[in-house]
Amino acid sequence: MVTVFLIVFGLCLGSFVNACVWRLHEQTGTTSQKKLRELSISKGRSQCPECRHQLAAKDLVPLFSWISLRGRCRYCKNPISWQYPLVELVGATVLVVSYIWWPHGAPGSILEGSIFSIWALVVTGFLTLSVYDIRWYILPDKVILPLTVLGSILIGLIAIQQHSGDILVGSAIGAITIFGLFYTIYQVSGGKWIGGGDVKLAILLGLLAGGFMQALLLLFLASSLATGYAVILSLSGKKKLNRKLHIPFGPFLIAATVIVVLFGTDILDWYTHLVISV
Ligand SMILES: [Zn+2]
């Protein structure tokens, strides 16, 4: 029952992310107050990005609208990007996986329920950042800053739940580790090897990682995922593998963070046992 709810809820979050990303991007190009009101995330109505036709409720059912319309807009028949159903599916998957493997106790009490709800919001923000970075190679401050506040509240609540000040110390160390490293790389390379957005995002990711070893694991996973992706791109012949290959790093950092939050302790335990038994 909970799983079904989370799937539906995750699909809706994904759908919200799709609308958010498009509106955020459209907002940056306009100064007209009327247009900004139309594009308001809380008030504006959803419209087709191609023909700008306002979408009816039946067009906004996540996943099913896209499938029943065979990936085309009902009004102008232009194809709708597969990004839309994909983001919805990813949203649902991450929520269900988070629920099954949530490391901070089943959301039974109000405190635990709040912690999991805030995590769902963080996941929504993460998805928004990832899609934005993939499409436009930018991680917007408008998302990073509130998300960092949200992440700090999440860590604070987990510390209260576990009656442990060590969690706060670990998070601070994680944040300093990743931010320090990224900031140094940014300064040394003059912003060529890593984007300014990644540096700003580093604080949130380090906070969530929650420790020095977890931060290293996060960086290792993110680089491995990004390298794997670059190799696949070059093998498929779409892009040449060279130093000019520009891929957004944000989504890999974010994916690695989600893995570390959910499975970090298990992975590090497994690794420690491996080293000891060798
Ligand atoms: Zn249309």
Ligand 1 centre to CA of 29 (Å) is 20
Which of 51-60, 219-228, 234-243 is predicted most confidently?
219-228
Report yes or no on 203 lying in a domain: yes
Same domain, 95 and 125: no
Ligand 1 centre to CA of 55 (Å) is 9
Ligand 1 centre to CA of 147 (Å) is 32
The reported pTM is 0.91
Ligand 1 centre to CA of 53 (Å) is 6
- On the 0-12 / 13-18 / 19+ scale of CB atoms within 10 A, 109 is exposed
Ligand 1 centre to CA of 71 (Å) is 11
Same domain, 190 and 150: yes
Query: What is the mean pLDDT of the segment spanning 231-242?
Result: 77
Same domain, 79 and 138: no
Ligand 1 centre to CA of 33 (Å) is 24
Report yes or no on 49 lying in a domain: yes
Report yes or no on 111 lying in a domain: no
- CA-nearest of 37, 73, 39 to 53 is 73
Same domain, 96 and 128: no
| Domain housing 155 | 121-278
Query: Of 38, 68, 100, which residue sits at a domain end?
Result: 100
Give the separation between CA 210 and CA 215, rounded to whole angstroms: 7
Tokens at 43, concatenated: 């008030």
Same domain, 85 and 150: no
Question: Which of 133-147, 212-226, 243-257, 258-272 is predicted with the least confidence, judged by mean pLDDT?
Answer: 243-257
Please check whether residue 128 is in contact with residue 143, taking contact to mean a CB–CB distance below 8 angstroms.
yes
Same domain, 159 and 263: yes
Ligand 1 centre to CA of 89 (Å) is 22
- On the 0-12 / 13-18 / 19+ scale of CB atoms within 10 A, 175 is buried
Same domain, 133 and 271: yes
Ligand 1 centre to CA of 142 (Å) is 28
* Residue 39 clears pLDDT 70, i.e. is over it: yes
The Cα-based distances of 166 to 92, 156, 179, 272 in angstroms read 32, 11, 20, 20
Ligand 1 centre to CA of 131 (Å) is 21
Same domain, 92 and 133: no
Ligand 1 centre to CA of 41 (Å) is 20
For the chain, the straight-line distance linking the first and the last C-alpha, in angstroms and rounded, comes to 44
Report yes or no on 113 lying in a domain: no
Same domain, 157 and 267: yes
Q: How confident is the model at residue 217 (pLDDT cuts 50, 70, 90)?
A: very high
Same domain, 160 and 236: yes
Same domain, 172 and 211: yes
- CA-nearest of 137, 144, 135, 94 to 262 is 94
When divided into structural domains, the chain yields a total of 2
